[in-house]
Amino acid sequence: MKLITSTQQSEIRGAVGAKFAMIAPVLEAMLHSLPLDRTARLGGAEKITLHDLARELRQGSGDAGICFEYAVHEAIASRSPLIHELASDVLGRFCNIKAEAASILFGPEKDGRIPILESVQDALTEDSIVFVGNRGRPPKLRRYIPQIVNAFRRAEERNRLPRSISGLWKADLFLGSADQDVWVGTTVKIKGNALDGAKGLRVGIYPQENARDRPRLDSNLNLVRLPLPYDGAFMELFYKAFFLTRAFMKADASIPREVDLPDAEDRMITKELASRRDFPVLEVIESLSIMAQDGLLDTSGVLSVKPSATLSTEQGLQTQAELDLSADSVSLTPSSYIAKP
């Protein structure tokens, strides 16, 4: 696996470049939301083209919720000005993590497969702790990862977790600081009323419900609410990119009808995507990083590592000995979608 880090280098200036950057995690989420049997039938994720993806998507595959989780993770990991400062401020004020926010993608989605390398092998150390919002010594996170994974897979395993983190299997992300080695379980929902508190979860991210909806502690859920704003901010860009991509997919990976996508800027973007419909999705994602704003991200840091495990709803946890390591994978970071044989 090639783990590639991205660092924000400048403010977002161009709307087209910003959309290209946001479309990338949306496509990534759609790709990984496909059931494993259909992915395998097409030769694996690295072989699936944009046209294949358009034909394979079904109701519920690659929906807004899945894409939102990926996009939130990517934006925080890349220090996007649309969300990173807000996330860092919330961690400092409510969780006593006074550092620039980092994100670890954890939650498995639908019937797809995602690597849990970031969670188990790289981002965490033996001393990593998880704040749960209760008194007492914070649990060390890494040692419990296998149990948390098993709890996601099998309900009977959930009672075997320590009481303070018995609901951590619901986490979609771990937010925190690699320097301080401190993290908080985070749930990400596309609707605020879908937030559900659980033992071990500390932060809930969702779209802002109204102008008065600000970061705060929800004592009923024991969650720190982190609403993401719309006007000219993260949610507006996400939904524009999501609806644009969905219209493109419904048009069989071609330029949608003007009535379905009347914005000239969006149609220009789908024209660029349509010209690549017969290329693998992962290669298209790589090309999107070129079309995104020049100088927005620095992706110079590359680390070659071996994945320790994968997690899927069909196959559960697979250890290193059970994995097919014949091909490289990539970490989910915005302009680092590069898979080289």
pLDDT tens for 286-321 read 988 777 754 444 444 444 444 555 554 445 555 555
How many Cβ atoms from other residues are within 10 Å of residue 7's Cβ?
14
Task: Note the pLDDT of residue 36.
Answer: 82
Which of 311, 319, 323 shows the shortest CA–CA distance to 154?
311
Q: Retrieve residue 81's tokens.
A: 């000005």
**pLDDT-based confidence at 202, cuts 50/70/90?**
very high
How does pLDDT run across 95-133, given as a tens digit for each residue? 999 999 999 888 644 334 555 544 445 678 888 999 987
Which residues face 140 on adjacent strands?
Answer: 129
Q: Work out whether strand 129-131 and strand 182-188 pair parallel, antiparallel, or are unpaired.
A: parallel
Please state, in angstroms and rounded to a whole number, the distance separating the CA atoms of residues 144 and 128: 11
In the numeric block, the tokens 């590592």 are attached to: 305
How does pLDDT run across 233-254, given as a tens digit for each residue? 899 999 999 999 999 999 999 9
Alpha helices in 199-320 (DSSP H): 234-250, 264-274, 281-291
How many residues comprise the chain?
341
How does pLDDT run across 46-64, given as a tens digit for each residue? 999 999 999 998 766 668 8
Which backbone phi and psi does 177 adopt, to 5 degrees? -135, 125
Residue 143 pLDDT > 90, yes or no?
Answer: no
Q: Retrieve residue 146's tokens.
A: 């296998």
Higher per-residue confidence, 328 vs 285: 285
Q: Retrieve residue 144's tokens.
A: 């419990």
How does pLDDT run across 78-96, given as a tens digit for each residue? 888 889 999 999 999 999 9
Alpha helices in the chain (DSSP H): 15-32, 36-41, 50-56, 64-77, 84-95, 117, 145-153, 234-250, 264-274, 281-291
Four-residue CA torsion sign, 42, 44, 45, 46: negative
